[in-house]
Structure 1
Amino acid sequence: METIDPKDVKAGDEVYIIYHNPHTPTVANIKPAEIVQHPKDPNKLALFLNESFHLIEEDDALFSSEASAEKAFNDMYEDLL
C-alpha cells in the first residue's frame, strides 16, 4: 500500500482517502481531498472533503493517487466484494 505519511503533506496537496460514511458505516468510497490550512488553527493542516474540514490524524491513510487508494480498498474489502 502506497500511503503518504500525514507529516509529509503540505497545503495545496491533493490526496485520496477511503471515506467511510458516518451515517452508514458499512459504506466506503474513495474520495479526493485537498490539504489546506486549518481554518481555526493556522499551525495545523486539515483535509477539505465534502465541503468540510477534517483534522488530519496520524493514523489516516492518505494516498497519492486514486489507483493506490483503489488497490488498498480492494485489498481491505476483497472478501466482501
Structure 2
Amino acid sequence: MMDTIDPKTVKVGDEVHVIYHNPHTPTVANVAPAEIVQHPKDPNKVALFLHETFHTIEDDDALFASQETAEAAFQELYEED
C-alpha cells in the first residue's frame, strides 16, 4: 500500500509531492512538488498549488510527504516489471 497523506489533514504551508498527469498529454505522468495554500475562492478550504496553478484537493488525490515516497508509488503504478 502506498504511504499517502490524508488530504483532510493538510495545512497551509505544507509541502507535498504528487503524481501529476499532464492535462495536454494524459499518458504522461511524473512526480512533482506542490504546496498547500489557502483556497483562492474559499477561505475555509485549502488548495494545491502546482505548476503556478491552484488545484482543488479531492478526497481521492494521492499526496506524498516526500519525493522518495511519491517516486516509489510512481514506480509501483507505472513501471513494468
TM-score by length of 2: 0.96
Q: Secondary structure at the match of 1:3?
A: coil
Q: Name the counterpart of 1:11.
A: 12
Deviation sequence 1:9-57 (CA, Å, 0-9, x none): 0000000000000000010010000000001110110000010000000
Instruction: Give the C-alpha shift of residue 78 in structure 1.
Output: 1.8
Please give the root-mean-square deviation of Cα atoms over the aligned residues, in Å.
Answer: 1.0
Q: Which runs of 5+ in 2 are unaligned?
A: none
Instruction: Give the C-alpha shift of residue 73 in structure 1.
Output: 0.2
Corresponding pairs, count: 80
Alignment of 1:1-81 (within 5 A): 1-79=2-80
Partner AA of 2:73 in structure 1:
A
Partner AA of 1:15 in structure 2:
V
Distance 1:78 1:28 in 2: 11
Q: Secondary structure at the match of 2:32?
A: strand
Distance 1:33 1:58 in 2: 17
Q: Secondary structure at the match of 1:70?
A: helix
Runs of 4+ in 1 over 3 A off after TM superposition: none
Distance 2:37 2:29 in 1: 23
